Amino acid sequence: MGTENFKEQFDYWRKAVEEEMQRLVPSALEAPVSLHAAMRHSLEAGGKRLRPVLVCSVAETFSEHSSPLPAAVAVECLHTYTLIHDDLPAMDNSDLRRGQPTCHKAFGEAAAILAGDALLTLAFEILATSYADKPDLCVSLISELAKASGSLKLVGGQMDDIENENKLIDAATLRSINQKKTGALISASCVLGALIGGASKADVEIIRDFGGYMGEAFQLVDDILDHSGSEEETGKSAGLDEANNKATLVSLEGLEQAKSKVIQLTNTAKGVLQDSKGDTVFLESLVDWLANRTT
């Protein structure tokens, strides 16, 4: 897929998701106003919208059977909750996210915690109500997202990350953290799209693996940008990994090795897609774009 066509398709899905978000997320004017304003502050701050775009594009890859947009919004709500909580002083203690003050800086820690809690809860409410007419699909979507975001995956990865601060860890432990913290939700976004698109069980597992490899690569690029990027380029506080004494592949094996690993994971992700029966041209372009991003 050409660069221009890829960007047009990506922007099409991103705009559609943001329009659906306006419909499904309470207005900042709805009581309790401070809570909804805090939720909207973080949710509407922009960002790539990678995870919701994955839901939509994968669903289209397999000829969507239901609208992927509610599921895409649910995933973005859950992802935004993780960002709000990650930025808290007890976690990464970040002042900047997506080019603006983090939620706790703008609204205070209590409001930020509650905004994250509310977005997490809203994610599952959206899935439960939007796909109620297809009970089997509804249960599968809820189950998939819950597993990816719980103690064995995303939240557990955050715990592992915290407990390994100021420690010398090996590459295998670091990879496990990255797979849980970042790869799990990106992989789940792909799987939600595949389920909505009516993909076969074999294709669902192919897409799951694709998302996992892409998620690992995505995290490594984030680590590289934290090491060498600026706040102006990335839109968030830079140098936090070093400041918080967090191990990354950059700190363990060096910048060039980290870049080499990104290329390896990207190629593996694209290779996995060769066994899929869907039209994966957009997904292949997407994983290349992510590997070369600067924000």
Q: Domain spans of the chain? A: 3-291
pLDDT above 90 coverage of the chain, percent: 76
Strand ranges in 189-266 using DSSP code E only, listed in sequence order: none
The dihedral through the CA atoms of 198, 200, 203, 204 has a sign that is positive
The model's pLDDT over 18-62, given as tens digits with 9 standing for 90+, comes to: 999 999 999 999 999 999 999 999 999 988 999 999 999 999 999
Residue 254: per-residue pLDDT: 85
* DSSP state for residue 100 in the 8-state scheme: E
CATH architecture label of 3-291: Orthogonal Bundle (1.10)
pLDDT band at 245 (very low <50, low <70, confident <90, very high): low
What does each C-alpha distance from 179 to 63, 144, 156, 202 come to in angstroms? 28, 16, 11, 21
Q: List, in sequence order, every residue forming a beta bridge with 84; answer none if it has no partner.
A: none
Q: Which of 59-63, 64-68, 237-241, 265-269 has the highest mean pLDDT?
A: 265-269
pLDDT, greater one: 4 or 14: 14
Lowest-confidence range among 67-76, 206-215, 252-261?
252-261
Residue 153, φ and ψ in degrees, nearest 5: -125, -105
Q: Say what the pTM is.
A: 0.91
Count of CB atoms situated within 10 Å of the CB of 35: 18
* DSSP state for residue 76 in the 8-state scheme: H
pLDDT band at 198 (very low <50, low <70, confident <90, very high): very high
d(CA 184, CA 124): 17
- For residues 69 and 56, the answer to whether their CB atoms sit within 8 Å is yes
Token reading at 181: 């913290």
Is 236 a residue whose pLDDT tops 70?
no
Residue 228: per-residue pLDDT: 76
Residue 243: per-residue pLDDT: 59
Q: What is the mean pLDDT of residues 76-105?
A: 94
Considering the chain, what is the average pLDDT of its residues? Answer: 91
The model's pLDDT over 110-169, given as tens digits with 9 standing for 90+, comes to: 999 999 999 999 999 999 999 999 999 999 999 999 999 999 999 999 999 999 888 888
Residue 64: per-residue pLDDT: 66
